[in-house]
Structure 1
Amino acid sequence: MDFSYCLTKDVNRPVTIKISTLEGSLHQDVLTLEQDIEHPDYYVTVQLFGDNKPLTVATRTCYKAFKNHWSWNEWLTLPIKYSDLPSSAQLAITIWGILGPRKLVPIGGTTLRLFGKHSTLRKGKHKLHVWANKEADGRTMTTTPSKVDVTNDMDKLEKLVKRYDCGNIQPVEWLDKLAFRKIEQIHKEYKVVDLIRTNDDPPQTNTAIANAMNQSIHTTDPRQRYSSSSASSSTAHPAAIKTQSHHHYNSVILDPELLRDNPVEAKHRRLVRSHRNGPLDRDLKPNPKIRDELNTIVAYPPTQTLTAEEKDLVWKFRFYLTRDKRALTKFLKCVVWIDPTEVRQAVDLLPMWADIDVDDALELLGKEFENRSVRSYAVNQLRKADDDDLLLYLLQLVQALKFEHFNEKDANSYESSLVQFLIDRATQNPILGNYFHWYLMVECEDKVVGKMYAKVAYHYFKAILEVPHGHQRRDTLRQQGQLIQTLSRLAKEIRDLKETRSKKVEKLRAIISDPKGSLFSIPSLPLPLDPTKLVSGVLAEKSNVFNSSLQPLRLTFTCDDGSEYPIIFKSGDDLRQDQLVIQIITLMDKLLRKENLDLKLTPYKVLATGPEHGLMQFIPSKPLAAVLDEHQNNVLSYFRQHHPDDSPEGIYGINSSVMENYIRSCAGYCVITYLLGVGDRHLDNLLLSPQGHLFHVDFGFILGRDPKPFPPPMKLCKEMIEAMGGADSPHYSKFRQFCYTAFTTLRRNANLILNLFALMVDANIPDIKIEPDKAVIKVQEKFRLDLTEEAAIAYFQGLISESVNALFPQIMETVHKWAQYWRK
């Protein structure tokens, strides 16, 4: 459970409370007074005290005539702010009766301390005991306390209801309805007791203003108040207020019997699901209404939690649903996996089901599904994927090994179909095996699951030796490891030099060109970043040091085919988040191409070789900020410099293919960076190639995180639009159309992307690790799966307009520009 806190000194809002109802029957003395008047009028006054002194004048409820039931339901605002409250603050609440002109009689009073245990401000509904015929005194040692020690069954039930409202008791829908109905009956029985009494009578727990005070603390939205009629009002407010001198941390103590089988629920489930006559369900066919309900359930996103009624409905028509491949994951979520009968029926049903797609198979490999038969079924579906597709999901499949439950103590055996599948495919395909090896190596350094991954790596090396040229492949992987260690030491040595950047570049080139050095001549081996390239050396004259805090190295490898392969080696930086984003961009590019939509994306390669170092492919390009500086804020001038075309086929004096690349790539990255919530977008991490390809780099902030306030939904500045000919040009209209098509296409593949993120929740990705339980939800919200396709397009139109017209990002861009200038 998440909690947020603030100090009362930081809450600059007036204290507000809600007076709800007075319940119970009147004492005999009051009844005698009532005989003199047909319908006496009551009102309530509230006054704040502190250290036995009044802090405010009394605030009273409005005039209201009553007959049989005393109910105000009125908010009162006291003339004092939360920031001015002392820790001894108390509310003196008095009910007054009007028996005639200038004739007031205290019906009863009660005193409530505003701060409870650990000096936290009280919130939610409160049942306050009323002391008959007394005015609330508000003193520290009060004679009209709101709480008494005597308790009865109703008090105990009310405390349990409050715990339920706060989410500390797990809801059970069908049982809750019965329980609350019974509680209401008990409550009515207690109301017939004589509640208000003389001072000499012993106080009882049912002497009360039921729901009399409903405290509202609101930090942002004044409408966020607790409703006295709402069962969940105690949890409506997002912040718990603390005093200035104390710190309080809430914790939830879980019920040790929470996961035990409830015999009542188990019997109910067996009756509803007809365990004894399950075979009769084979011939069940839904009527049109139920069929629509089933289709709605099947269309739910992976994060949707099914209600008990929906689960029973899916189970009832499970045989009918076997023809729908999308329904399998929903059906398996309905199974009670501690019930052997249901588990047996579910497993027997798997071979009968229509073959599922890859996205559903990935969902079945998540932490939610532990059954070995289910996970084996998912792996069997993955066997149909070719190596190119498997490479797109390999990063997540390696992470899914964390949810496999095989014996880690026995190093000579394992019982995991996923491990066996990945090892088999990795040994058959060296390129796949190269990435599988490095994904394992990174996880081997994890303190929690490192031993498990080391065991998998051990079995992988054993399997390699059994294939042709296996010893050579094993030696190649070891040589790659030595190369990475050499580059890591070199990067640290260059970064630690107390010299200028130019001196560091000279030192770097001297080390590389040293004939005795390990980088002068490399035995031909596949580059870990791109194993399709065999490299044999590093060009010293084309090596450099970037001018940034971590000073990464730019190295150019020579390839056996005569080509060059420039890379960036980063040390002291975790590239796993960049690696994930680039993998998702690569996947999205393939999904779009399947729909014949090529957006000219540039998914450069990224490989984390350890938690603090890795390789990145270098694409010759310039930051958009540098392009605008050199060409007087005119991107078209930059394109004309490299690809001029004054013929009729040219566009604005440049080659038409360059303009097409620019429009398509702008649209693609606008949609993708919006969906992934990429933050910290400024013109220095938007790169532009001479061929017109625009692409993003540096994905240190994703899932909506951004170091700058008020970030726009996507990075789309006026200079980018002017390069298309302006907002009224046909090229800008074409750009918008590409955005809409890409957005709707990726929405149709949302389940695959969401399942990939779900498998990464324990992958130590920085921005996922902050709130792992919300990571998938954040991505899902971007897709707006609740909208129709037409509404989604209209929604994205609004996002584009909002991004173009956002003023604050322009200000922050200017600030960033000056910061870069002074840093240089």
Structure 2
Amino acid sequence: MDTYTFATSRQLDYPVCVKINNLEGRQTAVNPSVLLRHPEIRHIGSVQSPLSELFVTAQIWAESKPLGVSSQTPHMFFKNSRTWNKWLELPILVKDCPITTQVTITIWDLSPLPVDGSLQHAVPFGGTTIPLFDDDGVLRKGRQKCKVYRKRAADGRSPSSTPHIPRLRRRRRGEEIPAPLPEEEELERLEALLKKHEMNEIPQNDWLDQLVFQRMSKISREVDANARKRAALRRVEKRKAKAEIASNTAVPEDERDDSELDDEERFTLYVDFPRFDFPIVFEDHSYDRPKLMRDFYNSASADGLNAKAPPEVRYGPGIAAGNLVVDDEDYPVINIFDPEQFQKDNPCETKHRRLVRSDRNAYFDADQKPNAKLRDELNDILSYGPTQELNAQEKDVLWTFRRHLSKDKRALTKVVKATDWNSPNEVKQMTDLIPKWAEIDVDSALELLGPNFDNPVVRGYAVDRLRKSGDDELRLYLLQLVQALKFERYDGEEEGLPASSLAKFLIDRAAHNFQLGNYLHWFLMVECDDRGPDTNAANRKLFARVEYHFMLELERCDPEQRRTLLRQGEMIAILSKISKDIRFGRDSRPHKIERLKKYLADPKNDLLNIDPPLPLPLDPSIEVSGMIPDESNVFKSSLSPLLLHFKIATAEGPDNEDTSSVRSQKLKSDSRFSIIFKTGDDLRQDQLVIQIISLMDRLLLRENLDLKLTPYRILATSPQAGAVQFIPSIAISAVSSKYKGSVLAFLRANNADPEGPSGVRKEVMDTYIRSCAGYCVITYILGVGDRHLDNLLLTPEGKFFHIDFGFILGRDPKPFAPLIKLCKEMVEGLGGTTSTQYAQFKQYCFTAFTTLRKSSSLVLNLFSLMVQSSVQDVRMVEEQLGGVGGVVGKVRERFHLDVSEEEAVRLLDQVLADSVNAVFGVVIDRLHELVQNWRA
């Protein structure tokens, strides 16, 4: 049995080739009377000799247009017959040919006196057109018999007037089309068998084949003779009919139509196409849908909407779809893709909308209130998520009741979306109404600062709402607010910044709060240095402008803060140089550690003693007075990260600042702060994840739910360098090897209590249960991937946490990875799936998930501000799925906002069960362990 029975044209990376074999037919002699009236005819080559020197050209056509230039045979001298036997290679590949491709073949005669007076002494002897694919979409192969239309060049239009197989004439009224003769039917049957014989589909037998060929030649001559006789009779009958209509009128012989000449001479051209062992079936090139169409179909499938069917259109006269044959009366109906189908509005609906929203209804709308049915409809619209699109009817309802909705803080973002900002009338009404609107929440303000809103009044109102937020709350959103600067519109000629702009607001707040200014400075510097493929010079220029005005403001308000930031930059530059030297060094790890200690102790680097103390860029609430070189280390990794220990000058900070962050290293009993500094790695994605974890921790604490999370500090100091807070902990993989896979053994070793649950102190076990639940829910919502036992850490106090967020938003390099990393070691630490601790763990998961669902709009709006950032996975998902809906949609689907709270909890419970029983997770952990041991 053959492994396959056909191939596709997209697999054929080979040019279209056709072999011109021979021309058969007998030319009718020109009447002497015609030569007397047209003496220039006598100089045509075919008139002078029946074996004159003809040449052939071939060209590719499709959709009534030529594709590429033509190819031609060389001039040849014929002895007994017009035989070329020459292959012509056409300048187009088979894989690039559409289904409507035709090969136009024209036979050219020579004339010293061309009729059109051109310099090209070639006149058409005849032409024929043959489709490259047959009616079944199969590439033609082998020998082809083509009818030649005398004195006409090949026609490549659709449909062609010179088809290689003549189409049946349409029967006129009262006319009877004669049935084909038995000899013609027999000849067609034999020619089909001959083609199979040439393709080796029929066994060859030399002596019998010779007899068959002789018999076929005789039948062919008889058919040609009979055809010429019938053509002569039809010509005589036609002349008699014309003579009856108009007496003394005759058709000169040289003016007879081409059909009579074709029937009388019956020229046939034999050509060959390349032969293949299998049929080559046409396969069209599949183009990606435009971004606009992807957004529509994605939203339609998500909302359960049915997309409109493509419109039905008709081609114009003389043009057919595919290989269909059309005539003057019946054109086929075909479907085409209309790129404007969902891009441009219906003109009738646009006119209706303008009338509804015109000035004449402005005063009428002021007192209009919705009835009960419309109130329910408006409540449904206001419950939509930030990424859900509004249809035309919903926009009209929102606009009609905009003044009534101004009392509802949830409605502003929806009404702004329903406003036509290209209409001066609607813009004026909306800008007058916005200042009177009820005070909106922070999540709505962040949505108004997104890429879909560029009106200065709208963005200014959102900035005014942010002015009421405290510095601690503002710091939670600062990373996204810096990215929102890309969506601002500034006058290039204006020197300063508009007072209502987001940039001016951030600068004013950061200039009066050092911690806020510290992070703003480093976020801006990283964006200024980013020269990756996903960035552009305009954004870098924008961030540089904001940084410049920030420095001017600091010079005016607090010059000492500006000098502090410059000192931080000098220290980071020195650490970056040391890290690069250690990373690219070829010596062993012990030698690298010695070199690191030497670098840190070198007085030229000013790291051993820092005077005056310097706020640490990673955590500006901590002032460091120097480093401890003897305890520094180099991790075993390809990037050689550095473990650095800073001496803390002062351990106290404001009591009300960042209660959710790690403060275990800031106690007076411990006068050091440890960080991991590395180069060659973009930490902005990890920085984003940690920021979201810190925000979620604050949201949970606001609902009195403390899940003992560990949002350690992380700061990208450049696109390829950064610092991470070091938390004393042990990886689950190390626990597995040292304590024989028992997390309980590790907890008992550090917190033994015979009376506690599973022999562990009660508060430590409670911390472990809560932290496991918190990170399971958060990593599930963020779609964190590439989870293995080396990036799951555990502190002696029972705090469980994740590190290394190189894959988020559902991306995972490992196949069949579970949606939640709940390995057997974690479950064993909980006492098994039947224990009381595991039941508490699940309850914490459900409570945390339902709590975070209530603030889903805030999380989604923060991600919507990141769609144009250089965060790797955000950029990748945005390019694959398109726009804000792609990035935010990935997070939105994990919240399960389209179902009730009970159904969402049930879905999370199923995910937890699947993760516990996941077999591939165990296999992946073992494979990762083997790879790590092999590298070591």
Equivalent of 1:464 in 538, 543, 554: 554
Give the structure 2 partner of residue 177 of structure 1.
Answer: none
Cα distance in structure 2, aligned partners of 1:427 and 1:89? 64
Instruction: Tell me the residue number matched to 2:120.
Output: none
Q: What pairs up with 1:543-692 in 2 under 5 angstroms?
A: 543-561=632-650, 563-646=671-754, 648=755, 650-692=756-798
Compared with structure 1, are the counterparts of its residues 491 and 348 closer, same or farther at alpha carbon in structure 2 (3 Å cutoff)? same
Specify whether residues 775 and 167 from structure 1 end up closer, same or farther in structure 2 by C-alpha distance, changes over 3 A only.
Answer: closer
Partner Cα separation in structure 2 for residue 618 and residue 750 of structure 1: 30
Q: Is the 8 A contact 1:406 1:415 kept in 2?
A: no
Q: 1:592 to 1:168 in 2, by over 3 A?
A: closer
1:409-456 Cα offsets, whole Å, 9 max, x none, are 444455652111111110111111111111111111235211111111
Distance 1:813 1:10 in 2: 41
Structure 1's 744 and 132: CA in aligned 2 closer, same or farther, altered over 3 A? farther
Q: Find the aligned partners of 2:723 and 2:290 in 1 and give their Cα distance.
A: 51
- Residue in 1 that maps onto 2:545: 455
2:420 to 305, 319, 336: 336
For the residue of structure 2 that corresponds to 1:279, the secondary structure is helix
Give the one of 554, 562, 572 matched to 1:484: 572
SS of 1:616's equivalent in the other structure is strand
Residue number among 456, 469, 480 corresponding to 1:372 in the alignment = 456
Q: CA deviation at 1:542?
A: 1.7
* CA positional deviation for 1:473: 1.0
- 1:205–1:776 Cα change, 3 Å: farther
Give the counterpart letter for 2:602 in structure 1: D
Cα deviation for residue 550 of structure 1 reads 0.6
Amino acid across the alignment from 2:836: P
C-alpha displacement at 1:181, in angstroms? 12
Instruction: Say which is worse superposed, 524-533 or 510-519, in terms of deviation.
Output: 510-519
Q: Which amino acid aligns with 1:762?
A: Q
- Deviation at 1:471? 1.7
Distance 2:439 2:431 in 1: 15
Q: Aligned with 1:407: secondary structure?
A: coil
1:202 and 1:347, CA in 2 relative to 1: closer, same or farther beyond 3 A?
closer
- Highest CA radius of gyration, 1 or 2? 2
| SS of 2:741 mapped into structure 1 | coil
With over 3 angstroms needed to count, the CA separation of the structure-2 counterparts of 1:350 and 1:503, relative to structure 1, is same
8 Å CA contact 1:588–1:746 kept in 2: the answer is yes
Mean CA deviation greater in 523-532 or 411-420: 411-420
Identity between Structure 1 and Structure 2 (%) = 49
State the partner residue of 2:806.
700
TM-fit CA distance, 1:165: 14
Contact preservation (8 Å) 1:571, 1:613: yes
Contact 1:411 1:455 in 2 (8 A): no
Partner of 2:623 in structure 1?
Answer: 534
**Counterpart secondary structure, 1:684:** helix
Contact 1:577 1:699 in 2 (8 A): yes
1:572 is matched by which residue type in structure 2?
Answer: G
1:494 aligned to which of 569, 576, 582: 582
Q: Which runs of 5+ in 2 are unaligned?
A: 1-6, 12-93, 101-132, 141-157, 161-165, 171-187, 196-267, 270-288, 301-307, 532-536, 651-667
- Specify the SS of the correspondent of 1:569: strand
What is the CA RMSD across the aligned residues, in angstroms? Answer: 3.9
**Corresponding position: 1:762 with 2:868:** yes
8 Å CA contact 2:10–2:95 kept in 1: the answer is no
Q: 1:590 to 1:454 in 2, by over 3 A?
A: same
> Which residue of 2 is the match for residue 417 of structure 1?
501
- Return the letter of the residue paired with 1:442: V
Would you say the 8 A contact 2:499–2:505 is kept in 1?
Answer: no
Separation in 1, partners of 2:465, 2:167: 71
1:272 offset after TM fit, Å?
Answer: 2.3
Partner SS, residue 135 of structure 2:
strand
Q: Name the amino acid aligned to 2:435.
A: P
Question: Aligned partners of 1:719 and 1:758: how far apart in 2?
Answer: 36
Normalising by the residue count of structure 1, what TM-score does the alignment of the two structures yield? 0.72
The aligned counterpart of 2:514 is: 430
Distance apart, 1:169 and its partner CA: 13
1:316 aligned onto 2:400: yes
Residues 100-147 of structure 1: CA deviation (Å, up to 9, x unaligned): xxxxxxxxx98153699xxxxxxxxxx9999779999999xx99xxxx
1:513 matched to 2:625? The reply is no
- Take 1:516 and 1:369, find their aligned partners in 2: how far apart are those partners? 51
Give 3-state SS (helix, strand or coil) of 1:466's partner: helix
CA contact (8 A) 1:582 1:605 kept: yes
Distance (whole Å) between structure 1 residues aligned to residue 490 and residue 481 of structure 2: 16
Shift of 1:408: 3.6
* 2:800 corresponds to 1:776: no
**1:155-204 per-position Cα deviation (integer Å, ceiling 9, x unaligned):** xxxxxxxx999959999x9xxxxxx99988x98x99xxxx9xxx9x9724
Match of 2:907 in 1: 795
Q: 1:10 to 1:588 in 2, by over 3 A?
A: farther
Q: 2:849 aligns with which of 743, 749, 767?
A: 743
Report the 3-state secondary structure (helix = DSSP H, G, I; strand = E; otherwise coil) of the residue aligned with 1:652: helix
2:701 maps to a residue whose letter is: R
* 8 Å Cα contact 2:792-2:801 kept in structure 1: yes
- Closer, same or farther: CA 770–131 of 1 in aligned 2, 3 Å: farther
Question: Cα offset for 1:770?
Answer: 1.0
Task: Provide Cα deviations, 1:484-532, integer angstroms capped at 9, x if missing partner.
Answer: 0000000011112211111111111122123443211122110000000
Q: Secondary structure at the match of 1:687?
A: strand
- Which of 926, 931, 936 is the matching residue for 1:814? 926
The superposition leaves residues 201-222 of structure 1 with CA deviations (integer Å, 9 ceiling, x where unpaired) of 97247354x57xxxxxxxxxxx
Equivalent residue for 1:206?
Answer: 330
Shift of 1:381: 0.5
> Do 2:497 and 2:503's aligned partners in 1 also have CA atoms closer than 8 Å?
no
| Equivalent residue number for residue 235 of structure 2 | none
Q: CA, structure 1 residues 530+168, in 2 after alignment: closer, same or farther (shift >3 Å)?
A: closer
- Partners of 2:513 and 2:98 in 1: CA distance: 73
Closer, same or farther: CA 565–89 of 1 in aligned 2, 3 Å: closer
1:713-724 matched pairs, under 5 angstroms: 713-724=819-830
- The one-letter amino acid paired with 1:667 is A
Do the aligned partners of 1:405 and 1:416 also contact (CA within 8 Å) in 2?
no
Q: Which residue number in structure 1 is paired with residue 483 of structure 2?
A: 399
Q: CA deviation at 1:335?
A: 0.6
Cα distance change, pair 205–534 in 1 and its aligned pair in 2 (3 A): farther
Alignment partners' CA distance in 1, 2:817 and 2:921: 6
Superposition deviation, residue 268 in structure 1: 2.0
Counterparts of 1:88 and 1:462 in 2: how far apart (Å)? 63
In the alignment, what sits opposite 1:473?
Answer: 561
Distance change >3 Å, CA 356–CA 182, structure 1 → 2: closer
Q: Is the 8 A contact 1:546 1:553 kept in 2?
A: yes
Alpha carbons of 1:683 and 1:10: their partners in 2 closer, same or farther (altered >3 Å)?
A: farther
Alpha-carbon shift at residue 403 of structure 1 (Å) = 0.7
Render the CA deviation track for 1:579-599: whole Å, top value 9, x for unaligned. Answer: 000000000000011111110
Corresponding residue for residue 245 of structure 1: none
C-alpha distance 792-520 of structure 1, shift in aligned 2 (>3 A):
same
How many Å separate the matches in 2 of 1:407 and 1:675? 40
Work out the CA distance in 2 between the residues paired with 1:418 and 1:602: 31
- Relative to structure 1, the CA distance from residue 370 to residue 340 in structure 2 (aligned partners, 3 Å threshold; closer, same or farther) is same
Distance 1:635 1:674 in 2: 22
Of 296, 300, 303, the match for 2:380: 296
SS of equivalent to 1:294: helix
| Structure 1 spans left out of the alignment, 5+ residues | 1-6, 12-84, 92-108, 117-126, 144-162, 174-179, 212-230, 236-251
Matched ranges for 1:160-239 at <5 A = 167=293, 203-204=327-328, 206-208=330-332
Residues 575-623 of structure 1 show CA distances to partners (whole Å, capped at 9, x for unaligned) of 1000000000000000011111110000001111111111110000011
Partner of 1:712 in structure 2?
Answer: 818
Q: Using the TM superposition, give the Cα deviation of residue 481 of structure 1 relative to its aligned residue in structure 2, in angstroms.
A: 0.1
Distance in 2 between residues matched to 1:680 and 1:406, nearest whole Å = 41
